Structure 1
Amino acid sequence: MTKHIRIAIAGPRGNMGTEAVKLTDRTEHFELCAVIDSKNNGSRLKDIAGMPAVDVPVYTDINQCFQENTIDVLIDLTNPETGRKHLEASLAHGVSPVVGTTGFTEADIEKLSREAEQKQIGVVIAPNFAIGAVLMMKFAKMAAAYMPDVEIMEMHHDRKLDAPSGTAIKTAELIKENRASRRQGHENETESLAGARGADIDGMKIHSVRLPGLVAHQQVMFGGAGQTLTIKHDSINRESFMPGVQLAVEHVVEHKELVYGLENIM
């Protein structure tokens, strides 16, 4: 029998948050109990212009939300600063967070992992919820063992705050596991314009593009003798992330540790 899961969503008015509200509304074993928003405290979600007709309370204070409602999982789709605060509040209240924001450092992950283990609370932090993007990262890691010269190009909408994207950084981290550290390009290479060659992780270059009309796109290009290999993924709309969100929610209530990256539960 599928477990019934009571959910709160932080950031319901954002593009991702709105899709998450729709996900909880159409998924039979999900129950949306409340939302956390930066405004509209005391309102009902259905009364906010542009929102789905879902009759749940709106809170600006996440602690009040947890005190007044029984919540199993918080889906946080806000921003790095707010997401970190919401994650800590979730752990304090015994709520399992599924966090889709980036910006967590290795030290953050280690600290949060210890806390989740001590409290026996499941946590999922995912730089990208698109199943195809996770497969792209897995394939890139495999390819790096045979073609170590690689550059990453990530392209997102012009409202995205961080660069490079969490997905690009996560891709580089996975590639590092299968690739010896090395400097790429000509040994005497120079930049006539600073930053022309992109950011550098372990000798790999990452390039970020921000333009209106884009959603989330990444390609990983490998170069070898007489050949190139390009592994590419495109998210055409935010609905593409919802199967991964559902997978994370269903996982997090069954486990008692922190998972960083959707690839670890696929």
Structure 2
Amino acid sequence: MAIRVAVQGALGQMGREVMKTVSNSPDLTLVGACDARASGEFIEVNGKQIFLTSDLNSCLVNTRPEILVDFSLAAAVPQTAETAARVGANLVIGTTGVNPQVLGRLEALTKEFNISVMVAPNFALGAVVMMQLSRIAARYFDWAEIIESHHEKKIDAPSGTAIATAREMNAAREKPFASIPGEAEHKSRGEKFYGVPVHSVRLPGLVAHQEVIFGALGQTLTIRHDTTSRESFMPGVLLAIKEMAGRKGEFIFGLDKLLGF
């Protein structure tokens, strides 16, 4: 039986891509769409009329999805999660910039309402591999920096992927990364996350790109991933939807948990 899916943030670029992909998947059914900018009652997706509303509770009550996919705004995630939990919908969240306090509340909701929640900083399979390779390299290099580049409409900076990468790199080490004395006085050196300087670039023409640069005496190692189309995120989104639909009472952070890393 096909998994019933609704999309929050449906009118955004990622939301539209998710709806198109879900609609084309034979084992999924797109049943509803929600967006704060919605003005009509329906949206056409691949020739089908899909229920559309600006009221998430109305969307969930009328369409009863098993999974709500959220690509909206970080500020909206807490209310989105509370609303979904109360109607028993599992969540797949790709919205970035969600702070640790909200993540803690999301985990609590899984126990309180017996739903499952997955939050992923990045759904591109190559980006997940890049993060894992960076974790391995972090054991052997004392110096590292991250440069992440995205389109000019991405609000949060640094990206969730960059922060998650720095966290994984730090966790793999027994001591902090090295740094230049007095480095904190120079804002151009980037903001540090888990001891790793992160530099953010926002320009038209970009989609999502990240390189992790490691340095040592007489050598450097660069691990880079480039997203040239939002289609790259869709295999990961589909994997998350299908995996989370069959789970209850679980909180999962990161697509890597579903890939066996």
Alignment TM class, shorter chain as reference? over 0.9
The residue type paired with residue 212 of structure 1 is: P
The residue type paired with residue 195 of structure 1 is: K
Structure 1 residue 54: deviation in Å? 2.5
Q: Which residue, out of 252, 256, 259, partners 2:252?
A: 259
Task: Give structure 1 stretches of 5+ with no counterpart.
Answer: none
Structure 1 residue 44: deviation in Å? 1.3
Match of 1:245 in 2: 237
Residue 48 of structure 2 corresponds to residue 54 of structure 1: yes
Per-residue displacement from partner, 1:6-65 (whole Å, max 9, x unpaired)? 01111222111111111111100110011002233452102xxxx643211111111111
8 Å Cα contact 2:78-2:102 kept in structure 1: no
Structure 1 residue 172: deviation in Å? 0.6
Q: Give the 3-state SS of the residue equivalent to 2:22 in structure 1.
A: helix
8 Å Cα contact 1:6-1:33 kept in structure 2: yes
Shift in alpha-carbon separation, 1:80–1:189, aligned structure 2, 3 A: closer
RMSD: 1.6
- Distance in 2, matches of 1:234 and 1:71, equals 33
Match of 1:128 in 2: 122
Residue 208 of structure 2 corresponds to residue 216 of structure 1: yes
Residue 136 of structure 2 corresponds to residue 142 of structure 1: yes
Structure 1 residue 224: deviation in Å? 1.4
How high is the sequence identity, in percent, across the aligned residues?
A: 38
Shift in alpha-carbon separation, 1:73–1:174, aligned structure 2, 3 A: same
8 Å Cα contact 1:96-1:123 kept in structure 2: yes
The residue type paired with residue 143 of structure 1 is: A
Per-residue displacement from partner, 1:63-122 (whole Å, max 9, x unpaired)? 111211221000111111123321221111100011111222223222321220232211
8 Å Cα contact 2:23-2:46 kept in structure 1: no
Moved more, 3-12 or 126-135: 3-12
Moved more, 217-226 or 77-86: 77-86
Q: Give the 3-state SS of the residue equivalent to 2:108 in structure 1.
A: helix
The residue type paired with residue 17 of structure 1 is: G
Alignment of 1:86-97 (within 5 A): 86-97=80-91
Structure 1 residue 181: deviation in Å? 4.3
Residue 158 of structure 2 corresponds to residue 164 of structure 1: yes
- Distance in 2, matches of 1:55 and 1:215, equals 29
Shift in alpha-carbon separation, 1:188–1:18, aligned structure 2, 3 A: closer
Match of 2:170 in 1: 176
Per-residue displacement from partner, 1:155-176 (whole Å, max 9, x unpaired)? 0001110110000000011111
- Distance in 2, matches of 1:92 and 1:181, equals 43
The residue type paired with residue 242 of structure 1 is: M
Paired residues in the alignment total: 258
Q: Which residue, out of 193, 196, 202, partners 1:201?
A: 193
8 Å Cα contact 2:94-2:123 kept in structure 1: yes
Residue 7 of structure 2 corresponds to residue 9 of structure 1: yes
Match of 1:233 in 2: 225
- Distance in 2, matches of 1:157 and 1:127, equals 16
- Distance in 1, matches of 2:128 and 2:120, equals 10
The residue type paired with residue 265 of structure 1 is: L
- Distance in 2, matches of 1:41 and 1:217, equals 33
> TM-score by structure 2 length?
0.93
Q: Which residue, out of 91, 99, 118, partners 2:112?
A: 118
8 Å Cα contact 1:45-1:52 kept in structure 2: no
Match of 2:97 in 1: 103
Match of 2:60 in 1: 66
8 Å Cα contact 1:96-1:253 kept in structure 2: yes
Q: Which residue, out of 13, 16, 23, partners 1:18?
A: 16
8 Å Cα contact 1:87-1:99 kept in structure 2: no
